[in-house]
């Protein structure tokens, strides 16, 4: 019996792996033992969900904290490997907030050096591999003697620690870029490269080759596993869905997909603008707004000033588990199907800048991106302004696709909603391009392709 290690430390990773065909296909192997590593407060939760005779669970905590000074040094050094519009925006926002021109200059210098000289990045990764030591994982490798380590969130500190330990022991490693924005928006390239890398699309493959110096012949393109639901499942009855959200099945639905107060503190104003337009008659009266939180409680918008209205509904996705310092969200099968139904029955999707633009495109739903700060006039580099979000590198293919419309004023937003309500077929080719570029193959088989890549690597272990 062969053994695979899989660390699960991010809720979206649990969604992508444990609740898709990745896990289903791995569990079909009767002669395979899987050891899942998770925070101690989630171990029993995952055990109840996916526990089986050949599935073992081990708790690991505090992996977001640097192991030592060397680990902290290399973590920070990896932030200088990437130079793009996202990094420029983030650096300028920090400058505006801290006014530290000395740091700004030297960080610019390091970024220019490491992003343009691959031998410096390769040298840094080599030193990182040899100099950073960690004994926390050694006992598990000794106990279970794994044949393969699968890192489902390869840029995460915990996954990198597993990769480092496995490579020192000559154990085969497979990494997954679990989201389309990982290599650019998260500001960090891989510190240590796995033997095999799985990516969602051609764009991410090119990014891995350029930013991570990863050889293209060891990259496998698989697609987005959590999008498999959109292809394979069927919607519930319209009446059942609207009963669940407290809406009216006779009315049309605008889905407002919030990105959260960490990125914007004026989303409530965007919702109010749409609601007021309905009340004034600038938008049809047969509309209702479903605000899908991410993951802020609905009270946040009410507390900020959003007026309560029969046209505004709130949807808080997933379940919340008690966690150190707060809560941790998990998207279970029922929650993923609820998102499916939400998109299926929405007439228009409004968001600022998020993956929901891709989700909506998969259902051929018109997408409007809000590119203004409600009623407020904020500087471009204000950390709570949405203006710079549309300049982020990972989002440029979405904007260039022709599949979404940017609303730069409240008037633009209302006009775009009215236009799409009358002509939902507009920009359909652009939405199809979004799906093709971001999902690669939208055929319901991404999860199986990821599992096949893992099992193939397991059969060719070092």
Query: What domains appear along the chain, each with residue ranges and CATH number?
Result: 2-66+130-224+444-459 (3.40.50.2000), 236-439 (3.40.50.2000)
Tell me the per-residue pLDDT of 250-273, one tens digit each, with 9 for 90 and over: 999 999 999 988 888 999 999 999
Q: What is the DSSP letter of 433?
A: H
Q: Which residues contact 33 (CB under 8 A, 6 or more apart)?
A: 1, 2, 3, 4, 54, 55, 56, 144
pLDDT at residue 188, rounded to an integer: 64
Quick one: angle between helices 333-345 and 238-245, nearest 10? 110
Share the mean pLDDT of the chain.
Answer: 93
Separation between Cα atoms, residue 305 and residue 265, nearest integer Å? 11
CB neighbours of residue 105 within 10 Å: 11
Highest mean pLDDT among 75-79, 173-177, 302-306: 173-177
Which among 312, 281, 420 is positioned nearest to 360, based on CA atoms? 420
Of residues 131 and 304, the one with the higher pLDDT is: 131
What would the mean pLDDT of 298-312 be, rounded to a whole number?
A: 77
What would the mean pLDDT of 404-429 be, rounded to a whole number?
A: 98
For every residue of 213-269, DSSP letters joined together read ---GGGEEE---GGGHHHHH-----HHHHHHHHT--TTSEEEEEE---TTT-S-HHH
What would the mean pLDDT of 159-163 be, rounded to a whole number?
A: 94
In terms of Cβ atoms closer than 10 Å to its own Cβ (0-12, 13-18, 19+), residue 382 is middle
Which among 356, 373, 352 is positioned nearest to 265, based on CA atoms? 373
Separation between Cα atoms, residue 408 and residue 11, nearest integer Å? 33
Residue with tokens 């397991």: 458
Confidence check: pLDDT of 9 > 80: yes
Asked if 223 contacts 446 with a C-beta cutoff of 8 angstroms, the reply is: yes
């Amino acid at each position: 019996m062969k053994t695979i290690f899989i660390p699960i430390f991010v809720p979206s990773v649990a969604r992508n792996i444990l609740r898709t065909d990745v896990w289903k296909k791995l569990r079909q192997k009767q002669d395979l033992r899987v050891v899942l590593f998770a925070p101690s407060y989630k171990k029993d939760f995952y055990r109840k969900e996916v526990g089986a005779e050949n599935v073992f669970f081990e708790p690991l905590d505090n992996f977001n904290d640097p192991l030592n000074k060397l680990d902290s040094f290399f973590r920070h050094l990896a932030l200088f490997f990437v130079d793009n519009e996202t990094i420029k925006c983030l650096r300028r926002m920090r400058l505006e907030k801290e006014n530290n021109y000395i740091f700004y200059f030297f960080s610019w210098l390091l970024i220019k050096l490491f992003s343009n000289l691959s031998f410096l990045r390769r040298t840094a990764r080599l030193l990182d591999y040899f100099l950073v030591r960690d004994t926390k994982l050694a006992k598990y490798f000794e106990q279970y003697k794994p044949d393969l380590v699968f890192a489902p969130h390869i840029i995460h500190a915990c996954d990198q620690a597993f990769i480092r330990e496995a490579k020192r022991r000559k154990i085969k490693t497979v990494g997954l870029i679990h989201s389309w924005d990982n290599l650019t928006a998260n500001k960090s390239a891989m510190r240590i490269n796995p033997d095999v890398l799985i990516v969602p699309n051609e764009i991410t493959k090119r990014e891995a080759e350029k930013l991570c110096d990863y050889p293209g012949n060891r990259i496998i393109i698989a697609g987005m596993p959590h999008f498999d639901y959109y292809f394979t499942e069927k919607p519930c009855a319209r009446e059942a869905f609207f009963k669940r959200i407290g809406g009216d099945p006779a009315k049309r639905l605008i889905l407002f997909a919030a990105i959260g107060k960490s990125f914007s503190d004026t989303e409530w104003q965007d919702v109010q603008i749409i609601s007021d337009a309905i009340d004034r008659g600038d938008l049809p009266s047969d509309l209702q707004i479903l605000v899908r939180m991410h993951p802020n409680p609905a009270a946040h918008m009410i507390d900020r000033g959003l007026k309560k209205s029969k046209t505004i509904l709130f949807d808080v996705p997933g379940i919340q588990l008690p966690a150190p310092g707060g809560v941790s969200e998990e998207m279970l099968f029922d929650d993923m199907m609820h998102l499916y139904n939400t998109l299926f029955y929405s007439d228009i999707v409004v968001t600022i800048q998020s993956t929901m633009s891709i989700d909506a495109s998969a259902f051929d739903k018109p997408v409007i991106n809000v590119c203004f700060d409600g009623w407020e006039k904020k500087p471009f580099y204000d950390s709570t302004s949405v203006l710079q979000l549309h300049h982020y590198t990972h989002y440029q293919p979405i904007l260039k696709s022709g599949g979404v419309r940017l609303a730069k004023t409240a008037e633009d937003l209302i006009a775009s909603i009215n236009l799409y309500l009358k002509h939902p077929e507009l920009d359909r080719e652009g939405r199809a391009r979004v799906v093709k570029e971001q999902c690669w193959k939208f055929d319901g088989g991404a999860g199986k392709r990821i599992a096949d890549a893992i099992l193939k690597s397991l059969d060719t272990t070092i």
